[in-house]
Structure 1
């Protein structure tokens, strides 16, 4: 299955250098939140418009293959919907496509 994460290009570059991506969402770390926020394909635009509309730095969309994850993930209830969350740092190996936004 593919899930997605909106990231700043600088956070993604840092993850490639360190070998782990640990930003939960804009300005919040995995350590602070307890998981990394993700989205299904149909949720990406809503997430981008709600949380990143005023972002002044370049953004990328990480396409994550859940079969390649080495940390647990699950769909958690959020309001009337569910969203995928990663319960650990994202290994860049699980990111199969990076698209500039």
Structure 2
């Protein structure tokens, strides 16, 4: 994967704010932690709309949703592209906490 290809992770603003205070982001998917899942689910730019619809399609939480833009070259934990089922589309999975310094931008989600 080219270094200029960023990973994306959609989350709630309060979770990102807490990560900034702590120094690392450790949430995997909506309401589930890295410890529970074993990795942090990410996506490519092309995958983001379907992932967001699946995870947050009917989101009515108190926080706005944001997209973390992660530079994989700044990760100090393993990154693997894996399919949820054999022969399926591969998604980037980060096997450890994402340091806040690896997040190069935070974009609003719609």
Q: TM-score range by the shorter chain?
A: over 0.9
Identify unmatched segments of 5+ residues in structure 1: none
Which residue in 2 is equivalent to 1:78?
A: 84
Q: Deviations over 1:32-89 (max 9, x none)?
A: 0000000011000001111111222310001111001111111011232000000000
Instruction: Compare CA radii of gyration and give the structure with the larger one.
Output: 2
Question: How many residues of Structure 1 are paired with residues of Structure 2 in the alignment?
Answer: 101
Aligned to 2:51: 47
Counterpart Cα distance in 1 of 2:79 and 2:100: 15
RMSD: 0.8
The two structures have a TM-score, normalised by structure 2, of 0.88
The question of 1:5 aligning with 2:13 is answered no
The alignment status of 1:94 with 2:99, answered yes or no, reads no
More strand by share: 1
Gaps of 5+ in 2: none
Instruction: Give the structure with the larger helix fraction.
Output: 1
